[in-house]
Structures are given as C-alpha cells and as structure tokens.
C-alpha cells in the first residue's frame, strides 16, 4: 500500500486514483498527520503531492515532510512541491526560478535512474530520452542533496528530476499524475511496482472480499437499514451488504413520484426479485406532490423534497425494530471534498443521504462500506457483484429528481409528460451510441404553451427542452454537439408520441455560465 501525503495540490486526488488504477491500494493523508497514523498505515512507499507553498520562504511555517515519514525508510517520490521539500530537507538548495514554467514542457531524461529508465516519448539526436510533461513551478532545485543525481532536466530547470536509486528516493518537478504527461502512468507504475515492490492486488474481486470481511466483522449478527435510491452508490451498497450479511439487510425505497419512467419497478425487479434483497417500497407520490403544491421556487422545492423524504424514511424506519445500523453510500470523494483532505478529521455525510436525526434518535450506528472507494472502483465492484452494467453506468440523477426538471410549480400531469419525453431521449441516445459519450442527458419540462399543428388540427401545448452535456467533474460542462439528424428524430418522436407536447428545443448553453440543471 502507498501513502499519498497531501501538501495542498489540486491534483492530490488524481495521484491516488492513478495508484489505484495500477491496482495498488493507497490513501491520502494530510502532510501534518500524526506520526502514529503514518506508522500505523505502514506504507511500502510514499508519494508527496505538489502544493502552493515555497520551501525557501522563511517567514511562514511552510509544510514539511514529517520525520516519521522519512524514518520509515521506504521509497519516496516527491512531485513538484514534494520534490522541493524532499531536496530542501535532505540538505539541497531550493530557490526561486528565473523562468517559471507552467504547462507543456519537454524534459530530457538523464542517466539511467531506475525511475525513468527506458521511459520516453522519443529520443534526441544524441540518443537521450525526451518526455512530454506537464510542468508547474515557480521554484527550482539549485543544488542536489547528498547521494542524489539529476535524472531529468529542461533548459529552465536543469534539475527537473532527482534520484537516489540506493535509497529509492525520487523527485520530479513535473506532474506524472496528469494525462498531459504522456508517460506519467508508466512512471508512477515504475515507482509503485518496481521501486516500492507493490503487487497489484487491488482488483474488484479482492476489494469485494475485503469489504465483505470487514462488514461481517463490524456488524456481527446485528441488522442494517439502507435507503436505496436506485443511484449507483446506494445500489452497490445494497448488493455488497446483501453478499456480506444477507437477510440482516433491509432496504427502504421511497418513490417520490419524481423518478424516471418505471424506475420504481426496475429497482424492485433488480433488487427484490432478482437478488432476493428485502426492499420495502413506499409509494409516496401523493404525499410529495401535496407538499409541493403551489410552490414554484427552486430552492424551496428542494427543501420540501428533502424534508418530506426524511419524514417518510423516518416513519418507515420507525416501523422496523431491532435495527442497529444505518448504511450510507458515502464514497471517497465525498469524504475528501466535504472534510477536506488537508484536515482529514471532520466527518461530514453527503447531505442527500443524511436522513435527519434518525441515527441519533433510533440510536443507530453509521455503516459506510464504500468510504475508501472512488467512483470508478464503485462501478467496477458493482458489475462484479452482479448489478446490471446499465444500472452501474447510469448518468447521475439529482436527489430532487424531476422536481428540478419541471420548471416552477409541479403537477402530476407535467411529471408524466416529462417522464415519457425523457425515456424517449435516453432510449435514442443509447441506440445511437451517444449515451456513453455524454456525461448527463435529460429532458426538462417548460410550463409554456406553444402553438402547433397536427393534420388539420391546431395544438396549443407544452414545450420540452433536451439537455446533454459532456463533462469530467460536473463543475464545468460543454453542451453535447449531437447530430442534427439525431435531434430531428428525437423531436419527431416526442411530439408524435406524447400528447401534451407540441414543441422540442435543444439547450446549447455551456456551464458556466449556465448550470447543468435548469433549476
Ligand atoms: P448543476 O445544475 O449545479 O449540477 O450544474 C451539477 C450536478 O449536480 C447535480 N445536481 C444535484 N444533485 N441534488 C443532487 O443530488 C441536487 O439538488 C442537485 N442539483 C444539481 C446535477 O444533476 C449535476 O449532475
């Protein structure tokens, strides 16, 4: 296992993901973590992330590598700030660079370090290996610490990489974890496997075995309650817990009337019928629609939906006795983002999973078996656990569901119309091979009447907008450039097949300035 020490880089999570992609378990801890946690983790190697600070700034208490880390005497790879901290603390000199480098750079690999040997994009006239990398630094290492050699250089940073093969200590001024560094994954793999000697045992099958064993040990013969939403995370928790503890698991699925077409039936088919999981389905459509009646404000609607969910879930939970645990689909990015990897102490629960005061009132303990996994790992173990691939690779769906996709006031008639339009759009995206190429796609109901004509008749009906975006992190997004023929086909189907819709428009706004959802 590998320890990633976070010095505040925006890429720290990416380092951890890359290591896990290599098949090796790793965790992120803040740079100022207590020594006992470092010793307790007992890593086979340590990666130091980049960070915004300068080691030569004497004024502030700049982040340092804890003595406990260096005392482990295991291989260390310092990236960017991590390299400078390593060089500085082992007796080298770091100074502000005359030429700052940000972005693409061509690095010459020097010598024959274990880390970079035979890894190159091409060679120059003298036969030296050249690498295309992503550089970002204002400081540079000016003098090597004892025992180190230069293993990479650029004209602006003659010491762009340092290495001591005997001790397995390395530093890189560039970022191997980003895809712009084309050989980055090979470099990380070289460090993790060849230098640290880790073998790739972090596979879906092993992860499941490990989680199952831990759940059994934690839960014993006690009973667990899970709010199942049909989303990826809670679905995988359900499948995992069922494998681990069978009938000790009870799921509650709340149908709020704002779900996609036939979603409730699908959830029951997959979990209750096929997998034999005990799922209590609560049909709460009328209750949600009553609570929402007359409310047009998006944030007020979100609050009503959240509050009603908690009430309903609470009531159902109250009917069950002998439950000791509440399971949640919290995943690693939730833990890092909400707590902040650099504090690592707080424990905040994903807000839409957080079912009110239930845990305290019913005296429930929290079970979060996916806390250490990234989304792609959750998907992989989901498939391995036998969930349908289609369910595991679904686009994200907001907690308030169609409640934020029906603009303004919500009426059942609108929701029914929208469900049909959305189902046609999604089915056509799948058929045309566009579903996988987009990150999120859906229909939005606009409560605007528009005139149309069908045959000899005049229609005066509602408008539906289609939205499809491509994004990696959902913070920024590009509208998907779907082919005109495809949009034409979807539009015809929606208008012809759905009574009540006479016009379809396509949303061509990026995020920013628009958001992905319309409300
Ligand atoms: P926006 O609309 O802010 O959405 O660009 C970014 C991502 O977040 C989802 N989203 C929500 N998810 N509860 C949720 O669970 C919400 O209230 C909510 N609002 C937006 C949205 O679907 C997109 O994936």
Q: Hey, where are the domains in the chain?
A: 2-195, 204-392, 411-506
CATH class (in words) of the domain with range 204-392: alpha beta
Q: Do residues 267 and 239 make contact, with C-beta atoms less than 8 angstroms apart?
A: no
Measured by CA distance, the residue closest to atom 3 of ligand 1 is 515
Per residue in 440-451, pLDDT (tens digit) is 999 999 999 998
Residue of the CA atom closest to atom 4 of ligand 1? 516
Q: Can you state the percent helix, strand and coil of the chain, rounding each to 5?
A: 35, 25, 40
Contact 466, 438 (CB under 8 A): no
Q: What angle do CA 314, 320, 326 make, to 5 degrees?
A: 60
Residue 175: which of 279, 86, 78 has the closest Cα? Answer: 78
Question: Is 175 a residue of the active site?
Answer: yes
**CA angle centred on 247, ends 215 and 306, rounded to 5°:** 75
Distance spanning both ends of the chain, measured CA to CA: 43
Taking the C-alpha atoms of residue 89 and residue 401, their distance in angstroms, rounded to an integer, is 52
Predicted ipTM of the assembly? 0.98
Cα(398) to centroid(ligand 1), Å: 5
Query: What is the chain's Cα-based Rg?
Result: 27
Best probe residue, ligand 1, of 229, 256, 309, 516 (max atoms within 8 Å of C-beta): 516
Closest CA to 231 of 208, 260, 207: 260
CA atoms within 13 A on the CB side of 90: 25
Long-range CB contacts (within 8 A, 24+) of 24-28: 24/192, 24/193, 24/198, 24/199, 24/200, 24/201, 24/202, 25/1, 25/201, 25/202, 26/1, 26/2, 27/1, 27/3, 27/372, 28/4, 28/336, 28/341
By most ligand atoms within 8 Å of CB, the mutation choice from 230, 298, 338, 398 for ligand 1 is 398
Other beta carbons within 10 angstroms of residue 415's beta carbon come to: 21
- Which is catalytic among the residues 26, 80, 198, 251? 80
Q: Is the dihedral of CA 328, 329, 334, 336 positive or negative?
A: positive
CA–CA distance, 418 with 401 (Å, rounded to integer): 11
Tokens, residue 37: 């946690």
Pairing status of strand 76-79 against strand 122-123: unpaired
pLDDT per position as a tens digit, 306-334: 999 999 998 999 999 899 999 999 998 77
For atom 11 of ligand 1, the residue with the nearest CA is 398
Of 185, 210, 110, which is closest to residue 151 (Cα–Cα)?
Answer: 110
204-392 matches 411-506 in fold: no
Q: Which of 396, 476, 477 to mutate to test the pocket of ligand 1 (most atoms within 8 A of CB)?
A: 396
Instruction: Give residue 138's pLDDT.
Output: 79
Residue 332: how many CA atoms within 13 Å on its side-chain side?
18
Instruction: Enumerate residues lining ligand 1, CB below 6 A.
Output: 302, 352, 396, 398-400, 440, 474, 511, 515-517
pTM of the predicted protein model: 0.81
User: Closest by alpha carbon to 136, among 169, 109, 164, 176?
Assistant: 176
Query: What pLDDT is attached to residue 343?
Result: 40
In contact, 131 and 119? CB cutoff 8 Å: yes
Q: How far is CA 354 from the centre of its chain?
A: 18
From the CA of 335, how far away is ligand 1's center (Å)? 18
Q: What is the pLDDT of residue 337?
A: 64
3-state SS string over 26-72? EEEEECCCCHHHHHHHCCCEEEECCCCCCCCCCCCCCCCCCHHHHHC
Rounded Cα distance, 242 and 271, in Å: 10
Cis? peptide before 512, omega within 30° of 0: yes
Residues in the chain: 519
Locate the ligand 1 atom nearest the alpha carbon of residue 440 and give its number.
24
Residue nearest to atom 18 of ligand 1 (CA): 398
**Known catalytic membership, residue 177:** yes
- Residue 137, pLDDT score: 77
For residue 387, the CA-to-ligand 1 centroid distance in Å is 24
Q: How far apart are CA 171 and CA 164, in angstroms?
A: 9
Name the residue at shortest CA distance from atom 9 of ligand 1.
398
The Cα 18–Cα 238 span in angstroms is: 27
In CATH terms, the fold of domain 2-195 is Rossmann fold (3.40.50)
> Residue 512 Cα, ligand 1 centroid: separation in angstroms?
14
Residues marked as binding for ATP?
A: 229-235
| Residues with pLDDT less than 70, the chain | 57-60, 336-356
pLDDT at 490: 98
Residue of 27, 120, 177, 377 marked active site? 177
Examine the residue annotation and report whether 368 is marked as an active-site residue of this protein.
no
The whole-number pLDDT of residue 9 equals 87
Distance CA 494, CA 422 (A): 9
Residue recorded with tokens 């229609």: 459
How many beta carbons lie within 10 A of that of residue 130, not counting itself? 14
Q: Does domain 411-506 have CATH number 3.30.300.10?
A: yes
* Beta strands 325-327; 278-283: pairing state: unpaired
Nearest CA to ligand 1 atom 22: 398
């Amino acid at each position: 296992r590998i320890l990633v020490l976070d010095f505040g880089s925006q890429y720290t999570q990416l380092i951890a993901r890359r290591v896990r992609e290599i098949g090796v378990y790793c965790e992120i801890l803040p740079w100022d973590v207590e020594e006992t946690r470092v010793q307790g983790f007992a890593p086979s190697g340590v990666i130091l992330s980049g960070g915004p600070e300068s080691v030569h700034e004497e004024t502030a208490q700049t982040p340092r590598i804890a003595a406990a880390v260096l005392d482990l005497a295991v291989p260390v790879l310092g990236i960017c700030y991590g390299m400078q901290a390593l060089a500085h603390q082992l007796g080298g000199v770091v100074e502000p660079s005359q030429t700052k480098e940000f972005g693409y750079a061509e690095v010459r690999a020097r010598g024959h370090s274990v880390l970079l040997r035979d890894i190159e994009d091409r060679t120059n006239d003298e036969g030296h290996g050249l690498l295309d990398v992503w550089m970002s630094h204002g400081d540079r290492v000016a003098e090597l610490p004892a025992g180190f050699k230069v293993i990479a250089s650029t004209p602006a940073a003659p010491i762009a990489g340092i290495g001591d093969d005997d001790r397995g200590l390395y530093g890189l001024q560039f970022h191997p974890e980003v895809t712009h560094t084309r050989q980055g994954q090979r470099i990380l793999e070289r460090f993790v496997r060849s230098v640290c000697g880790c073998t790739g045992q972090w596979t879906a099958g092993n992860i499941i075995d490990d989680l199952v064993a831990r759940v059994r040990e934690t839960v014993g013969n006690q009973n667990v309650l899970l709010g199942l939403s049909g989303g990826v995370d809670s679905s995988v928790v359900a499948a995992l817990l069922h494998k681990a503890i069978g009938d000790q698991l009870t799921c509650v699925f709340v149908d709020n009337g704002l779900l996609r077409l036939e979603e409730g039936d699908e959830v029951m088919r997959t979990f209750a019928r096929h997998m034999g999981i005990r799922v209590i389905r609560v049909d709460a459509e009328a209750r949600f629609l009553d609570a929402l009646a007359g409310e047009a404000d998006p944030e007020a609607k979100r609050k009503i939906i959240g509050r009603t969910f908690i009430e309903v879930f609470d009531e159902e939970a109250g009917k069950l006795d002998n439950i000791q645990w509440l399971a949640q689909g919290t995943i690693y990015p939730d833990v890092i983002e909400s707590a902040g990897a650099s504090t690592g102490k707080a424990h905040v629960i994903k807000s839409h999973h957080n079912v009110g005061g239930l845990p305290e009132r019913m005296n429930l303990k929290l079970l979060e078996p996916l806390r250490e996994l990234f989304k792609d790992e959750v998907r992989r173990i989901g498939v391995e656990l036998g969930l349908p691939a289609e369910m595991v690779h679904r686009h994200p769906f907001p907690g308030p569901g169609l409640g934020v996709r029906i603009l303004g006031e919500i009426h059942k008639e609108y929701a029914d119309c929208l469900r049909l339009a959305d189902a046609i759009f999604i089915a056509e995206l799948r058929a045309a091979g566009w579903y996988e190429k987009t990150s999120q796609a859906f229909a939005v109901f606009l409560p605007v009447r528009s005139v149309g004509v069908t045959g000899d008749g005049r229609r005066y009906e509602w408008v539906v907008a289609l939205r499809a975006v491509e994004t990696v992190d959902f913070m920024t997004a590009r509208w998907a450039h779907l082919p005109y023929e495809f949009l034409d086909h979807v539009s015809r189907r929606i208008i012809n097949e759905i009574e009540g819709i006479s016009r379809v428009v396509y949303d061509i706004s990026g995020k920013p300035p628009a958001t992905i959802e319309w409300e």
